[in-house]
Amino acid sequence: MLTGLRALTNRLPPGQGRQCRAFLCVRDEADRLPYLLSYYRSLGVQWFFIIDDRSTDSSADYLRVQPDCSVFTTSADFGGANFGMDWINTLLEAYGPGHWCLFVDADELLVYPNVEKLPLPKLCDYLERNGYEGVFAFMLDMYSPVPVSEAVYLRGERFNDVCPLFDVDYRFRPRLKRPFGAAPFPPSEVVGGPRLRQFYPRFARSGAYGYAVPRGLKKLRDSRIGRALAMQSWLGGTTSPPLLSKMPLILGAPGRRWISNHKTTPLRLAPITGVLLHYKFFSDFHGRVIKALEQGQHFDGGSEYGRYASALKGDPNLCFAHPESRRYRSSVDLTRPGLLRTSSDYETFCSEQPVLPGYDPALGDAAEPVVAKSLAE
């Protein structure tokens, strides 16, 4: 029995040994799902476990007919389910042990060093032979050379054809250890990117303590003492930027779970890292922000979305592109500036792998997008 979830299909993966399995929670993602599933299938994901959180579009109907998807729904609130993590962990506990498990959102594409040559199952072979149990990653916000309102995405298009640009000014830094507490896990966090630049500029050069203070106040506000003192009425939402760090790929095991969108229970991390190319800023962004505020189901009362709404109201033609923007073409564009981390051992492993006929994660410049032309003009 999967507490809180109801199956929409009776499909389960065939028992064919260890697999790469993806876990997602989606709502109103009918336009993104066709390419998203295509990308991860080409990467080597063998089965999808997807929770449809009461979509009002055709998401559930589309997923029901996919031959490699187990689809579930729920009548519970997203916020009350630890922002969907309780549902994900229910499926992880049932279908994850012994398999490599990928947790992503519908606007996230995982890349890693040499992703163009090395399918996901081969990456998992490398991790397993070296005793690693997970990969650290962060969300790299992708954006268009034109204003967000003009970055129109059409169903089935490659995400990168519309939003091919990214910032390089991200910083890896160790997380602060609490006095008398256990070492933080994951041990590092990543800060930077266009959201910091546009929506949280005062944090652009803040150190770890500059981030820690508002986060600490938020925890105090939400604690039993904070509620007793009605701190919500005068402290409001947190002002710190959203967390970018994630742990998207783990080896399923009893007791292992995602504590939040951004961390898991402790495990042995690989020295190589990943990036989740984050395609949040299509032209439907403003509408999604308004809907998120109306639903009131997001973290910290939706304070992050309130900030987005204010910025878009002040500048309806908001555009993230600037002189330092880079275009994503392959994982090399991320390893060179250090946004993806690799190792000599991993590079040797990759060089020894045969080229697989037909392997193509379909993210490069196979097409000549209209948006890409506009940047060059």
User: What is the per-residue pLDDT across 321-346, written as a single tens digit (0 to 9) for each?
Assistant: 999 999 999 999 999 999 999 999 99
pLDDT at 269 over 90: yes
Number of domains making up the chain:
2
Q: Provide the phi-psi class of 247: left if phi over 0, else alpha when psi is between -120 and 50, else beta.
A: beta
What pLDDT is stored for residue 215 in this prediction?
53
Q: Tell me the mean pLDDT in the region 198-213.
A: 67
CB 71 within 8 A of CB 60: yes
Residue 317, in any domain of the structure: no
Residues 247 and 227 in one domain: no
Residue 192, in any domain of the structure: no
Residues 221 and 140 in one domain: no
Give the Cα separation of 330 and 280 in Å (integer).
Answer: 19
Give the Cα separation of 362 and 370 in Å (integer).
Answer: 17
Residue 212, in any domain of the structure: yes
Give the Cα separation of 369 and 112 in Å (integer).
Answer: 24
DSSP 185-250: SSSEEEE-SHHHHHH-GGGTT--HHHHHHHHHHHHHHHSHHHHHTTHHHHH-S--SPPP-EEEEEE
Residues 228 and 270 in one domain: no
Identify which has the larger pLDDT, 219 or 168: 168
Count, residues in the chain: 377
Run of H or E including 135: strand 134-141
Q: What is the bridge-based pairing of β-strands 274-278 and 108-111?
A: antiparallel
Q: Provide the phi-psi class of 221: left if phi over 0, else alpha when psi is between -120 and 50, else beta.
A: alpha
Residues 233 and 153 in one domain: no
Give the Cα separation of 222 and 66 in Å (integer).
Answer: 41
Instruction: Give the residue among 36, 103, 26 at the shortest CA–CA distance from 260.
Output: 103
Contacts of 226 (CB under 8 A, 6+ apart): 220, 232, 235
pTM: 0.87
Residues 222 and 156 in one domain: no
Give the Cα separation of 168 and 305 in Å (integer).
Answer: 24
Reading the block at residue 279, the tokens are 């395609």
Residue 180, in any domain of the structure: no
Q: Tell me the mean pLDDT in the region 251-280.
A: 96
What pLDDT is stored for residue 175 in this prediction?
84
Q: Other C-beta atoms within 10 Å of 362: how many?
A: 15
Residues 134 and 206 in one domain: no
Confidence bin at 375 (pLDDT 50/70/90): very low
User: What is the per-residue pLDDT across 141-159, written as a single tens digit (0 to 9) for each?
Assistant: 999 999 999 999 999 999 9
**Percent of the chain having pLDDT more than 70?**
84
Average pLDDT, the chain: 86
Q: Domain end: 180, 211, 240, which one?
A: 240
User: What is the per-residue pLDDT across 212-227, written as a single tens digit (0 to 9) for each?
Assistant: 555 555 555 555 665 5
Residue 290, in any domain of the structure: no
Give the Cα separation of 298 and 104 in Å (integer).
Answer: 17
User: What is the per-residue pLDDT across 233-253, written as a single tens digit (0 to 9) for each?
Assistant: 555 555 678 889 999 999 999
Residues 332 and 231 in one domain: no
Residues 222 and 275 in one domain: no
Residues 232 and 90 in one domain: no
Residues 234 and 248 in one domain: no
pLDDT at 70 over 80: yes
Q: Other C-beta atoms within 10 Å of 190: how many?
A: 21
CB 185 within 8 A of CB 263: yes
Residue 196, in any domain of the structure: no
Identify which has the larger pLDDT, 234 or 369: 234
Give the Cα separation of 147 and 282 in Å (integer).
Answer: 9
What pLDDT is stored for residue 376 in this prediction?
29
What pLDDT is stored for residue 235 in this prediction?
53
Residue 227, in any domain of the structure: yes
Run of H or E including 309: helix 303-314
Q: Is the preceding omega at residue 186 within 30 degrees of 0, hence cis?
A: yes
Residues 220 and 150 in one domain: no
Contacts of 52 (CB under 8 A, 6+ apart): 8, 26, 27, 59, 60, 63, 71, 72, 73
Residues 36 and 117 in one domain: yes
Q: Which domain holds residue 335?
A: 6-170+243-285+324-376
Q: Other C-beta atoms within 10 Å of 104: how many?
A: 21
DSSP assignment, residue 111? Answer: E
Residue 62, in any domain of the structure: yes
Q: Provide the phi-psi class of 373: left if phi over 0, else alpha when psi is between -120 and 50, else beta.
A: alpha
Contacts of 251 (CB under 8 A, 6+ apart): 99, 100, 101, 124, 127, 128, 133, 134, 267
